[in-house]
């Protein structure tokens, strides 16, 4: 019984956070510099929902405070990218400009990201 549980967990863990493998979208939590990949077709209209979990403190000037987290969606060949600064929570629409693999990356904190 324990052996089956381990095998099942080992098979599913690499796919965690990236439901696009099954034809869905993205539904995961990312921290600064972390990315998740998904496939999208040119002209696809996607809904992006972001909920900020934590904003990192800035390093440098004592008076400077960060009030948002950056979320970037990019085509992996570098031919298209869109970055949004999110404060709190936001939902917005994007239209994919190129077929293929895309990534979503978070900068400046931790955020739950959903792309459908």
pLDDT digits (tens, 9 = 90+) for 76-99: 988 889 999 999 999 999 999 999
Percent of the chain with pLDDT over 70: 75
- pLDDT band per the 50, 70, 90 thresholds, residue 61: low
Give the CATH number, domain containing residue 108: 2.60.120
Give me the mean pLDDT over the 92-111 stretch.
95
Q: What are the two backbone dihedrals, phi and then psi, of residue 103, each rounded to the nearest 5 degrees?
A: -130, 155
pLDDT of residue 13: 34
Nearest to 94 by CA among 102, 52, 20, 24: 102
Please provide the distance, in angstroms rounded to a whole number, between the alpha carbons at the two ends of the chain.
36
Q: How many domains does the chain have?
A: 1
Which residues fall within 8 angstroms of residue 43, CB to CB, at 6 or more apart?
Answer: 95, 96
pTM of the model: 0.75
- pLDDT band per the 50, 70, 90 thresholds, residue 24: low
Alpha carbon dihedral 21, 27, 32, 37, in 10-degree steps, equals 20
Q: How far apart are CA 27 and CA 111, in angstroms?
A: 11
In the numeric block, the tokens 């990534």 are attached to 103
Residue 48 near residue 94 (C-beta atoms within 8 A): yes
pLDDT of residue 7: 37
**Is 90 exceeded by the pLDDT of residue 57?**
no
Kindly tell me the sign of the dihedral angle through the C-alpha atoms of 39, 100, 74, 45.
negative
Q: Structural domain of residue 85, as residue ranges?
A: 2-115
Higher-scoring residue by pLDDT: 42, 58: 42
């Amino acid at each position: 019984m324990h052996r089956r549980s381990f095998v099942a967990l080992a098979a599913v863990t690499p796919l965690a956070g990236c439901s696009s493998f099954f034809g869905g979208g993205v539904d995961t939590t990312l921290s600064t510099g972390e990315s998740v990949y998904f496939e999208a077709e040119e002209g696809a209209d996607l809904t992006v929902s972001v909920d900020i979990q934590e904003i990192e403190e800035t390093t440098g000037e004592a008076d400077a405070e960060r009030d948002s987290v950056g979320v970037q969606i990019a085509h992996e060949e570098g031919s298209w990218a869109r970055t949004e600064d999110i404060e709190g929570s936001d939902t917005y629409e994007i239209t994919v400009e190129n077929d293929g693999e895309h990534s979503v990356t978070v900068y400046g904190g931790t955020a739950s990201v959903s792309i459908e």
